[in-house]
């Protein structure tokens, strides 16, 4: 998969990547649905993600827990000049740790730091390159956060983590989260 966004650069503690999918990147046009679907299918669309789940902030209606409904609602709610679509926060793990442990750690982090604190709807996607037939790449979980807060059933303001500096913020929160669970 060629990148549809520019990862934020800069050294941080931890094996993470952060960036924002914009409505246009290079010569391409992006949609929120397209950004999510590219991560649900790896290897050129031939292999599914290992796990995926929609994670909603408190108070969001149950119907938005269905991926298609959430993406339809979000794309209907895009502002005419909206550039920021999806924030990608990728957490990489050692190959020798259990996939379910990785998933639960990332999922709990997303629930607290992205859902509860930032009120973001997030699609969590786990990739296990070894299980998908790829020799390279560490297992990882993407938190695909829609770039605007979700209050009840309404999308509101843009999240600050869709801007430069998000990598350092999320890296610090992720490291503190992991250290507290070690």
DSSP string, 155-172: EEEEPGGGSTTHHHHHHH
pLDDT score at 27: 83
Give the count of domains, the chain: 1
Q: Which residues form the domain of 57?
A: 11-181
Alpha carbons 117 and 3: distance in angstroms, whole number: 28
Q: Determine the 3-state secondary structure of 145 from DSSP.
A: strand
Residue 49 within any structural domain of the chain: yes
Residue 78 within any structural domain of the chain: yes
pLDDT score at 134: 62
Alpha carbons 158 and 20: distance in angstroms, whole number: 12
Q: 38 Cβ partners below 8 Å, 6+ apart?
A: 1, 4
Residue 3 within any structural domain of the chain: no
Q: What is the rounded average pLDDT of the residues 19-28?
A: 90
Model confidence, pTM: 0.93
Alpha carbons 40 and 176: distance in angstroms, whole number: 28
E runs forming strands in 14-153? 16-22, 24-25, 28-29, 41-42, 47-48, 51-55, 84-92, 122-127, 140-146, 148-151
Residue 4 within any structural domain of the chain: no
Residue 2 within any structural domain of the chain: no
- Per cent of the chain over pLDDT 70 is 91
Q: What is the rounded average pLDDT of the residues 141-155?
A: 97
Q: 91 Cβ partners below 8 Å, 6+ apart?
A: 14, 15, 16, 102, 106, 109, 140, 141, 143, 174
Residue 159 within any structural domain of the chain: yes
**What totals of helices (H) and strands (E) does the chain contain, helices first?**
4, 12
pLDDT score at 46: 54
CATH code of the domain covering residue 162 = 3.30.930.30
- pLDDT interval class at 131 (50, 70, 90): low
Residue 46 within any structural domain of the chain: yes
Alpha carbons 169 and 114: distance in angstroms, whole number: 12
Residue 89 has pLDDT above 80, yes or no: yes
Residue 92 within any structural domain of the chain: yes
Q: Determine whether 11 is exposed, middle or buried from the number of CB atoms within 10 Å of its CB (0-12, 13-18, 19+).
A: exposed
């Amino acid at each position: 998969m060629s990148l549809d966004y520019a990862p934020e650069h800069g050294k941080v503690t931890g094996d993470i990547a952060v960036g924002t999918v914009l409505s246009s990147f290079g010569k391409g046009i992006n949609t929120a649905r397209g950004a999510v679907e590219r991560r649900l299918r790896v290897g050129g669309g031939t292999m599914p993600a290992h796990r995926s789940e929609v994670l909603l902030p408190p108070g969001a209606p149950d119907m938005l827990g269905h991926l298609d409904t959430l993406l339809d609602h979000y794309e209907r709610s895009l502002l005419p000049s909206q550039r920021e679509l999806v924030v990608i926060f990728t957490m990489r793990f050692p190959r020798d740790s259990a996939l379910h442990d990785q998933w639960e750690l990332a999922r709990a982090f997303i629930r607290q730091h992205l859902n509860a604190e930032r009120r973001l709807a997030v699609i969590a996607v786990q990739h296990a390159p070894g299980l998908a037939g790829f020799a390279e790449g560490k297992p990882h979980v993407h938190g695909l956060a829609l770039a605007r807060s979700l209050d009840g059933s309404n999308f509101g303001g843009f999240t600050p983590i869709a801007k430069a500096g998000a990598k350092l913020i999320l890296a610090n929160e992720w490291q503190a989260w992991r250290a507290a669970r070690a």
